[in-house]
Structure formats: structure tokens, C-alpha cells
Amino acid sequence: MQALDNIRILDLTQFEAGPSCTELLAFLGANVIKLESPRGGDQGRTLLSEDPQRDSYYFLLLNANKRSITLNLKSEKGKRIFLELIQHVDIVMENFAPGVMKELGLDYNVLKAANPRIIYGTVKGFGTYGPYSAYKSFDPIAQATSGAFSVNGFPDEPPIRPATTVGDTGTGVHCAVGLLAALWQRERTGEGQHVEVSMQDAMVNFTRVALMGHQLTHQPVQRRGNTVAQLVPAGMYPCHPGGLNDYIYLLATSREMWETLLTVIGRADLIGDPRYTEIPERNTRAEEVYALIREWTQQHGKFEVMEILGKADIPCGAVFDSSDVMSDPHLKARGMITTITHPTRGEMTMPGCAVQLSASPREVRPAPLLGEHNQDIYREVLGLSPGQLAELKAEGVI
């Protein structure tokens, strides 16, 4: 038994912010039915694809463990079928552009009237109200308007876009938490509700600690590159043989960690030296401290440094490139990196579920083909016959 195996979700989402939410819930056992347009489906299926005949890796990474049906929501018959489906699901999730569901005549008020227990999840760039609510957004826009760009990069250089898509997937995770909270509340009230997460709001939440400096100075927070404010020797250090990703990041904050680090790098002679013993003194001699550590790290590979320092209880991490991540034995041992077989892509290695529940086994199944489960789901949920489905297909409804 999986934690959410009795929860049925109708997933109208596309691209990343919405699909990352429903994929997480699917990993946790929810029966996620991805509802797509008969004409091409989720736009993510072709986004960044090198082969127009096969779904993109972008799509496959965000839609594992789901089933797919097609339905034309612009047709009157399609809308009627959708409202019938609503009677049999717990959650509807969408991240269309602002106003789309209302234009279709399928917004929350309509769905709530059809099924008062329905939980309606919405992800929008700037939410459904407020001065920016009509604006469209993608991940970089959410990051830019949250303050994340402004604090990322090096002093006296332009802001740098973080490459990780936390504006999208981070918003999806926030929404998944909201949906689970709404499910729990429904257990007590019997009523559903509207769960909304703005991408900008979610990113402000992720940026909260970086914005802390504003509380102290009431001035824009300055970019600090790879350092952590007032915590020398926290930072990035080059390793052998000196490639683009041959770096280690370490964070030795306590006096005990500092003295252990000095011992490991062969500079035990500096233990007790008042110039470096406490953080305030090290902060004033940052370049000297970095040079001491750099001289040692450059003699060793990044994974060797990680092993040596890790075993010495000094927090550190090698800078993993994508190949390192996909082949990492630790991630594979934990099931975070797993290999599956897709019907058109064949064997592929991908990230799995980051959440582990001791009584809810995890499984990663390939993302569905467009409309792959039409017959199964329409028969299972609405009792439609093969003849009725053939007719709907001929009419362009599914």
C-alpha cells in the first residue's frame, strides 16, 4: 500500500511547475490522470526535443507514474465529460495562463458546484489576484521577481540566473503540500477548497534567508559569490586536476571543525594561532585562510577531498557535474537515481522520488504516451464502451 493510493487526481498541468506537483503526488501513490488535448497534448511533450516523433526527455522527467487521457475541453461534449469526471476525483490541478479555465467555463466555482468535495489546485506566475496577476510567467521570471537573481552572482557583476529550476519545481512542491493539507482538512469538514500557489510567492519563500541582510541594513542585499557572510572559510576551493567542475565546497564553522581542518591539511601548527582561531579574526584574513586551504585541495581530486573531510566530520561536498549525479553510487543506493524502460525511448536513467516513507514503497514508472490510457480510464471511471470511445474519437472529443 502506498500513502496516497486511494486519491484520484485529474491533472491538467503542462510544462514544469504543475507537472512537478502532480508527479510528486504520483510517486507517493496517487492515481494521477493526466488530461491532455487530443491535438499534441502537454506542450512539454515537444519542448527541447531532438526527435519530433518521440516525447522529450523534459516531459519524461516530469510526468513519471501518471496515466494519460485526451479530452477536448473546448468542445461542449468535452466539457460535459469533464464535469462527469469531476464527480469521481479528489483533486483537479491546473497551471494554465491566467483566465483560461474561466474562459472555458470550468473555473473553481463551476467545479465546486458539480462536486463540493473537489480540491482545486492552481499554480500561476503571480497568483489570481494582485497587481501582477494578469502577467504570464516562467521559472526565470519568478526567480527574478523574488530577489533570487539579485543575490546570486559575484560583487560588481550583473545578477546571474540560478540554473536550477526552483521557480518551477519549487512551486510545484509548495502546491503539493497545500493539496495534502486540503485533503486532511476535508477529512474533518467534508468540503474541498481552492489551493493556490504563486511562483513569485514560492520563490520569495526560498529566498527568505538571503534577504535577511535587508533587515539589518535596510539596503539591497549584496551579492557574495561563493562565500557565506561572515563565515570564513566557507567557500569553493579548486581541486586536482583543475577542470571546470573540479571544486569542493566546505563549511567549517565551529572552532573544533577549524582545528580539525588544520590538522587534515597539514597545518596543525596554526592551531591556537590568535590570527585564525575564531571566526571574527578569520573574517579579517579571508584571503590568507583561503590560500592555506586552496594549497591543499589543489593536490587532491574533488571526491578524494570529500571523502577525507567527510570522514573528519567537516561539512563539505564535491561539485557534482551532471555525469557525476547520474552515476553516483550513493544516489543510486538510495533510489534517487534509477533506470526505467520507456516504450519509445528505451532504457533511461532519471531522478526518482526524493521523499521516502517507511510504510509506503516507492516505484518509478515511465511517463505515459499521449492518450495511452483512454480506454482503461474512461471505462473504469465513466463506464464508457469501446463503441462510445470510438465515436468520441471520431468526433475529435478525445
Q: Could you confirm whether 328 is annotated as catalytic?
A: no
160-178 pLDDT tens trace: 999 999 999 999 999 999 9
What letters, b where the CB count within 10 A reaches 16 and e where it falls short, cover 312-325? eebebebbbeeeee
Beta-carbon count within 10 A of 387 CB: 8
pLDDT band at 216 (very low <50, low <70, confident <90, very high): confident
List 42, 90, 139, 168, catalytic entry: 168
Q: 97 near 104, Cβ under 8 Å?
A: no
In the DSSP assignment, the letter for residue 168 is: I
Residue type (1 letter), 323: S
Measure the CA–CA gap between 6 and 337, rounded to whole angstroms: 27
Q: Do 273 and 292 touch, CB atoms closer than 8 A?
A: no
Which three-class secondary structure string do you get for 4-41? CCCCEEEECCCCCHHHHHHHHHHHCCCEEEEEECCCCC
pLDDT band of 186, cuts 50, 70, 90: very high
pLDDT band at 303 (very low <50, low <70, confident <90, very high): very high
**In which element (H, E) is residue 171 found?**
helix 171-189
Asked whether the beta carbons of 192 and 182 are under 8 A apart, the reply is: yes
Share of the chain above pLDDT 90, in %: 96
CATH number corresponding to 235-327? 3.30.1540.10
Task: Indicate if 235-327 has the same CATH topology as 8-206+334-394.
Answer: no
- Interval 313-355: pLDDT, tens: 999 999 999 999 999 999 999 999 999 999 999 999 999 999 9
Adjacent-strand bridge partners of 33: 10, 67
Q: Where are the domains of the chain?
A: 8-206+334-394, 235-327
Spatial distance between the Cα atoms of 316 and 305, rounded to a whole number of angstroms:
9
Q: Are 143 and 219 in contact (CB under 8 A)?
A: no
**Cβ–Cβ under 8 Å, residues 151 and 65:** no
Cα 302 to the center of its chain, rounded Å? 27
Task: Please answer whether residues 353 and 27 qualify as being in contact, where contact means their C-beta atoms are separated by less than 8 angstroms.
Answer: yes
State the fold for domain 8-206+334-394: Rossmann fold (3.40.50)
- Do 300 and 309 meet the contact criterion of CB atoms below 8 Å apart? no
Element (DSSP H or E) covering residue 250: strand 247-250
Is the predicted pLDDT of residue 153 greater than 90, yes or no? yes
Distance between CA 207 and CA 175 in Å, rounded?
17
> What's the pLDDT tens digit per position in 365-398?
999 999 999 999 999 999 999 999 999 999 999 9
